[in-house]
């Protein structure tokens, strides 16, 4: 083992030609991987496409960008002094505060010298002769490494639908995840937002405040609940800081890696309609939108139970939105509640009561063309100065397949995943030795709190590396039989829930031509982590380790 690969690109490139580990991405996962790997005494280099740390919280700087998990939970646990020292001003942090935090972490733990910024990885090739990875970046880095951590995030590869005429638009065109640092001038202007997922739900109320007129182009309505964001109450903060150890342990034992204020009411059918109303109303007023998943244990499994909550939900929309035609357009009716990411918002439905906001149904009348002056649907033409794409991501797999990754026998990862993203435990893919995926397809990914999850997965990988180094092992891989078993188990677990009933990005349904395959382990983070622990305790059962 060598020493830590440090040095900045200040004119002279100090990037070594060979390291123990390459980490791709300097978001929450990448930074923790750097910290943890350094503790193992390994030489590490990190390539980050952006000019700063933060990953999701570096790129998604659109107005209203905010985390949808309480910040006291969505934060690192690996250093108690850090969680004691840090003060979150708000309950659900805005992007600026998350970026501040992650920059603090990079400085506090002196991680920056290990990172090469503006360095997008564009090729990763496993060399069977030397059993190492060759990693290249668009900015010319060429490094050989024994191990690679793909800390690339499940929502990194931007999806911009290729509408005819897109290149002819004369106004400002921007995807929410590529929002310029200097901002976009939209005050008093004619703005269009395409997309009403979690991002659309956040950007719409914020832009409506200053836009001259805002058109929201909605293909599918969203279920969103109020965040009730507020300044972080000092006694609440104190209580968390006093109980961090036990609360972090509770997260490890929770299916979604969360601590929730209320849950576990049993079946919805155990209650009278009046009692259900009371429970649902309390949840609507409470501080965690994700509660709706946990209020009753049959809502995500039984369509009739789900329908009860969904219908109550539609009633809420009809109450909030004045114009009942608009309210009806906003009511989700084609997929069960929770089977696409439940959003949390700050005044989303209320925004449609504003004079300067118009909802356009592009589900019934699709967008046919972007024109130089705006866009045209099958029904009408709209003149716009600013067009915002809140159209999401080639989720889970896109960030990996876009890096041109080739494994044993020169197999391209994109080809290997042409029909489904084969993987074992979401951690590894057979034929791609020593390539570790953080939040990979096949793991709990976005249905569980991601910071706790990334810490867990990175600890698991670094323990595996420590094991390999102390036993003089050169490679770890898995087999296609094992990954086929895992993918079957994942599908079986998903099929016991309502999740597969939605055309969601959880199943690759949002990208034209992408194979349909449900990619997320919805059996619980707790069960997943127990399984990973058990695998490790049994000599990494299912993994193939070679000297
Ligand atoms: P999402 O959840 O994928 O939402 C994208 C939105 O864009 C969604 O409403 C889509 O409608 C819409 N969309 C995509 N393509 C089109 C076209 N061609 N025409 C019209 N509308 C379109 O991405 P987000 O960024 O909102 O959220 C991603 C995750 O980030 C979120 O779940 C959180 O985990 C954080 P559709 O529903 O496909 O009909």
Residue 378, φ and ψ in degrees, nearest 5: -65, -15
pTM: 0.95
Locate the ligand 1 atom nearest the alpha carbon of residue 341 and give its number: 32
- The pLDDT of residue 373 is 97
Average pLDDT score over residue span 325-340: 97
First vs last C-alpha separation in the chain: 16
Q: Whose CA is nearest to atom 19 of ligand 1?
A: 219
- Which of 11-15, 238-242, 470-474 has the lowest average pLDDT? 11-15
Q: Whose CA is nearest to atom 6 of ligand 1?
A: 195
Q: Whose CA is nearest to atom 15 of ligand 1?
A: 391
- The pLDDT of residue 93 is 97
Residue 278 clears pLDDT 60, i.e. is over it = yes
Q: Whose CA is nearest to atom 35 of ligand 1?
A: 198
Higher pLDDT, 292 or 384: 384
Q: Which residues of 465-491 are buried (b: 16+ CB within 10 A; e: fewer)?
A: beebbeeebebbbbeeebbeebbeebe
Percent of the chain with pLDDT over 90: 89
Average pLDDT score over residue span 99-119: 98
> What whole-number distance in Å separates Cα of residue 39 and Cα of residue 58?
26
Its sign, for the CA torsion 461, 464, 470, 476, is negative
Whether 443 and 521 have beta carbons less than 8 Å apart is answered as yes
Residue 1 clears pLDDT 60, i.e. is over it = no
- The pLDDT of residue 260 is 83
Helix spans in 337-449 (H): 348-351, 398-401, 413-416
222 C-alpha to ligand 1 centroid (Å): 10
Q: Whose CA is nearest to atom 16 of ligand 1?
A: 391
Average pLDDT score over residue span 208-233: 96
| Cα pseudo-dihedral 334, 337, 341, 344, rounded to 10 | 120
- The pLDDT of residue 124 is 98
- The pLDDT of residue 292 is 75
Measured from CB, residues less than 6 Å from any atom of ligand 1 are 155, 161, 194-200, 219-220, 341, 362, 367, 390-392, 446, 505, 510
Task: Share the mean pLDDT of the chain.
Answer: 94
Q: Whose CA is nearest to atom 29 of ligand 1?
A: 198
Locate the ligand 1 atom nearest the alpha carbon of residue 195 and give its number: 7
Residue 11 clears pLDDT 70, i.e. is over it = no
Residue 10 clears pLDDT 80, i.e. is over it = no
- The pLDDT of residue 8 is 44
Residue 453 clears pLDDT 70, i.e. is over it = yes
- The pLDDT of residue 263 is 63
Locate the ligand 1 atom nearest the alpha carbon of residue 199 and give its number: 26
Q: pLDDT of 294-331, one tens digit each? A: 789 999 999 999 999 999 999 999 999 999 999 999 99
pLDDT grade for 446, boundaries at 50, 70 and 90: confident
Average pLDDT score over residue span 517-525: 95
Q: pLDDT of 64-92, one tens digit each? A: 999 999 999 999 999 999 999 999 999 99
Average pLDDT score over residue span 200-205: 98
197 C-alpha to ligand 1 centroid (Å): 4
- Which of 436-440, 511-515, 517-521 has the lowest average pLDDT? 511-515
395 C-alpha to ligand 1 centroid (Å): 11
Q: Whose CA is nearest to atom 30 of ligand 1?
A: 198
- The pLDDT of residue 9 is 46
């Amino acid at each position: 083992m060598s020493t830590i690969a440090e040095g900045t690109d200040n004119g002279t490139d100090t990037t070594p030609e060979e390291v123990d580990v390459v980490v791709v991405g300097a978001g929450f996962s990448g930074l923790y991987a750097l910290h943890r790997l350094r503790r193992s005494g390994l030489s590490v280099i990190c390539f980050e496409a952006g000019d700063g740390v933060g990953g999701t919280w570096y790129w998604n700087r659109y107005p209203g960008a905010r985390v949808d998990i309480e910040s006291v939970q969505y934060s690192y646990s690996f250093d108690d002094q850090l969680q004691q020292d840090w003060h979150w001003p708000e309950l659900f942090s805005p992007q600026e505060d998350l970026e501040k935090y992650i920059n603090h972490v990079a400085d506090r733990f002196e991680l920056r010298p290990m990172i090469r910024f503006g360095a997008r990885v564009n090729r990763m090739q496993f060399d069977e002769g030397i059993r190492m990875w060759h990693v290249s970046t668009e900015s010319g880095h060429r490094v050989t490494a024994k191990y690679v951590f793909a800390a690339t995030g499940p929502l990194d590869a931007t999806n911009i639908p290729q509408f005819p005429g897109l290149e002819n638009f004369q106004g400002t065109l921007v995807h929410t995840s590529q929002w310029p640092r200097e901002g976009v001038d939209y005050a008093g202007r004619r703005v269009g937002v395409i997309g009403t997922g979690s991002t659309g739900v956040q950007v719409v109320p914020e832009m409506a405040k200053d836009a001259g007129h805002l058109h929201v182009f909605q293909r599918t309505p969203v279920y969103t609940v109020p965040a009730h964001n507020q300044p972080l109450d000092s006694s609440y903060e104190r209580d968390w800081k006093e109980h961090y150890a036990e609360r972090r342990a509770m997260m490890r034992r929770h299916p979604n890696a969360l601590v929730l204020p209320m849950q576990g009411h049993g079946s919805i059918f155990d209650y009278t309609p009046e009692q259900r109303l009371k429970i649902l109303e309390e949840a609507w007023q409470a501080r965690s939108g994700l509660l709706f998943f946990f209020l009753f244990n049959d809502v995500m499994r039984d369509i009739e139970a789900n329908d009860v909550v969904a219908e109550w939900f539609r009633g809420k929309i009809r109450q909030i939105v004045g114009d009942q035609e608009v309210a009806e357009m906003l009511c989700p009716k084609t997929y069960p509640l929770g089977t696409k990411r439940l959003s949390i918002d700050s005044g989303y439905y209320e925004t449609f009561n504003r004079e300067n906001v118009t909802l356009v149904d592009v589900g019934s009348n699709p967008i046919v063309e972007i024109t130089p002056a705006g866009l045209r649907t099958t029904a009408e033409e709209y003149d716009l100065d600013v067009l915002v794409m809140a159209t999401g991501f080639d989720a889970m797999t896109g960030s990996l397949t876009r890096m041109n990754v080739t494994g044993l026998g020169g197999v391209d990862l994109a080809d290997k995943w042409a029909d489904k993203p084969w993987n074992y435990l979401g951690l590894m893919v057979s034929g791609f030795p020593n390539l570790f995926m953080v939040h990979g397809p096949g793991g709990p990914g976005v249905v569980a709190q991601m910071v706790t999850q990334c810490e867990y997965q990175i600890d698991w990988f670094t323990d595996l590396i420590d094991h390999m180094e102390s036993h003089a092992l050169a490679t770890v891989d898995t087999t296609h039989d094992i990954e086929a078993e895992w993918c079957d188990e994942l599908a079986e677990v998903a099929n016991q829930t309502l999740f597969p009933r939605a055309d969601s990005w959880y199943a690759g349904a949002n990208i034209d031509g992408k194979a349909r395959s449900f990619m997320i382990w919805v059996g619980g983070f707790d069960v997943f982590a127990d399984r990973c622990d058990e695998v490790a305790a049994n000599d990494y059962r299912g993994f193939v380790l070679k000297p």
